[in-house]
Amino acid sequence: MRLSIVIPAYNEGVHIERIIRDIHKELQKVESDFEIVVVDNGSLDNTQGVLEMLSKEMPRVRARRVFPNRGYGGGILEGLSVARGEIVGWTDGDGQVRAEDLSAMYKKMRQENFAFFKARRMTRPDGVFRAIQSRIYNLIFHALFSTSVHDVNAKPKLFQRSFYEKTGLASTDLFIDAEVVIKALRGGIPIKEYPVVFQSRKEGKSKIGIGASLEFLKNLLYYRFIKR
């Protein structure tokens, strides 16, 4: 298996079918040997039924279910635990990153033989507050970890299996995006970034609240001064 892309889904039944079909269609243009591992992370809507239907129709789609919800990072960790690709990674299931950007990233990563490749959002149509919040996060991250990496939380994130198997990723919350970047930095892994078009959600709403923001900042301090 050359590529495994993990997608966590929590109550995304309204639009997850469209998103998976778009990703499947675009990846087929650049790779014949891939899998899309979609994790139903304790959804209470029809997400599970949609994923079961898609996995029967499209063999490259693998549906996993965990219950109750294990947190954003927990859903990703579940998917990574069964991923078989030489390149693995994750993206969100809310449709804010275009499927064509994911396929373009994967193609460039193969061509350039990158070890770690992540998105950098060039637009933020999700409101002024989120844009300011993201800016503050990244300024703090830069100060604490002395890096020029932009937009730490941006997805997709893709990396070689050899790197993933050494990381010991453990975050079960939103901090998993920062954790994997920190471990790449500490391991001397070059991090390349790719500009993506970030779109507004067509359905549903963001599940990120003030509690998640405070938890993120607490984890940054923990990884900087305690966790090595």
Least confident range from 66-75, 90-99, 120-129, 158-167: namely 120-129
For tokens 């029809």, what's the residue? 46
Residue 43's nearest CA partner among 60, 23, 63, 62 is: 63
Give the start-to-end residue ranges of the domains of the chain: 3-225
Q: Is the pLDDT reported for residue 144 higher than 90?
A: yes
pLDDT, one tens digit per residue, over 146-179 is 998 989 999 999 999 999 999 999 999 999 999 9
pLDDT, one tens digit per residue, over 85-119 is 999 999 999 999 999 999 999 999 999 999 999 99
CATH superfamily name and code, 3-225: Spore Coat Polysaccharide Biosynthesis Protein SpsA; Chain A (3.90.550.10)
Token pair belonging to 171: 């975050």
